[in-house]
Amino acid sequence: MTFLETRELGKAYGQAQILKDISLSVERGDVLALIGPTGSGKTTLLRLINLLDEPSEGSVIFDGVNITALPEKEKIRARRRMAMVFQKPVMFKGSVRENISFGLNVRKMGDPRKVDESLRAVGLDSFGSRIASTLSGGEMQRTALARALVLEPELLLLDEPTANLDPKSAASIDRLIHDLSRKTTVIMATHNMQQCHRLADRVAVIREGRLTGLGRPEEVLAAVMKQDESFSLPSVTW
């Protein structure tokens, strides 16, 4: 059974159509990369999958269940099987360790060992006592990723996961995503073509709110680069 599927998914704000007829599927354990120009709707798609926004049309099928049609309590249960890391993460008050522990405490699953493992996974072993608001942008990004990982989500949604990181930290996060894909399904929005090629099982191209390409990284990226590296030509279709 397909792990995640969107069926003719769309989102509009008034007269502005942000997404239209997005139909794609992701198998359990796969990494799907979403690429496209800024403003094409990648982040909106992640938010719809995570049930942070309501679709204007279509549905999200998660592990065989149409989660967009569920009552609110059931939606919360579905969301607890996912985690999302935003491009510009917000830190809670307190220390890095308190930030990472937050979700565990809410779910009454507090386990210091899990927090330590998550800190090590993102290379912040010695940062637990640091006040989160004093971190650099890249450190905040890694803290947010650890905050998601500690919950052991079945589906991890990443919005530009390495956009604010230095090359060394970005390489570390790439290795982490690669290792995670053995047990966690990952959907990530990215502008990094090399990252797509290294990590993704499939790549979806979104332009002006529509899915215009879907396939293996080498096929999709070759077509994109051949026609237009900035995705600006209206003729880019596959």
DSSP line for 4-60: EEEEEEEEEETTEEEEEEEEEEE-TT-EEEEE-STTSSHHHHHHHHTTSS--SEEEE
18-69 tens-digit pLDDT: 999 999 999 999 999 999 998 999 999 999 999 999 999 999 999 999 999 9
Tell me, yes or no, whether 195 lies in a domain.
no
pLDDT confidence of residue 234 = 35
Q: With respect to residue 19, please indicate whether it lies within any of the assigned structural domains.
A: no
Q: Please tell me the predicted confidence (pLDDT) of residue 233.
A: 33
pLDDT in tens, 168-195: 888 888 888 888 877 899 999 998 888 9
Q: Is residue 56 part of a domain?
A: no
Q: Which two tokens stand for residue 21?
A: 């007829």
Is 131 domain-assigned? yes
pLDDT of amino acid 235: 34
Phi, psi torsion values for 105, nearest 5 degrees: -65, -40
Q: Are 100 and 140 in contact (CB under 8 A)?
A: no
pLDDT at 1 over 80: no
The sheet carrying 202-207 orders its strands as: 82-85, 155-159, 185-189, 31-35, 202-207, 210-215
pLDDT tens for 114-171 read: 999 999 988 899 999 999 999 988 899 899 999 999 999 999 999 999 887 788 888 8
Q: Are 8 and 197 in contact (CB under 8 A)?
A: no
Which residue's entry shows tokens 């990226």? 221
For 64-115, the pLDDT digits (tens) are 999 999 999 999 999 999 999 998 889 999 999 999 998 888 887 767 889 9
- Which residues have CB under 8 Å from 157's CB, separation 6+? 46, 49, 50, 82, 83, 84, 85, 186, 187, 188
Look at residue 138 and tell me if it is in a domain.
Answer: yes
pLDDT recorded at residue 109: 76
3-state secondary structure of 167: helix
- 20: Cβ–Cβ under 8 A, 6 or more apart, which residues? 10, 209, 210
| Tally of domains within the chain | 1
Q: What mean pLDDT comes out for the span 190-209? A: 92
pLDDT of residue 231: 45
pLDDT digits (tens, 9 = 90+) for 215-233: 999 888 888 776 655 544 3
Please give the helix or strand (H or E) that residue 96 lies within, else none.
Answer: helix 96-106
In a domain, 198, yes or no: no
Query: Has residue 238 got a pLDDT over 90?
Result: no
CA 9 to chain centre: 17
* Residue 139 structural domain: 91-152
Residue-level pLDDT at 194 = 86
List the beta strands (DSSP E) in the chain. 4-13, 16-26, 31-35, 57-62, 65-66, 82-85, 155-159, 185-189, 202-207, 210-215
For the cut 50, the answer to whether the pLDDT of residue 198 exceeds it is yes
| Residue 75 forms part of a structural domain | no
| Residue 96 covered by a domain | yes
CA distance linking residue 147 with residue 238, whole number of Å: 37
- The kind and range of the H/E element at 108 are none
**What's the confidence (pLDDT) of residue 223?**
80
- What is the pLDDT at residue 228? 59
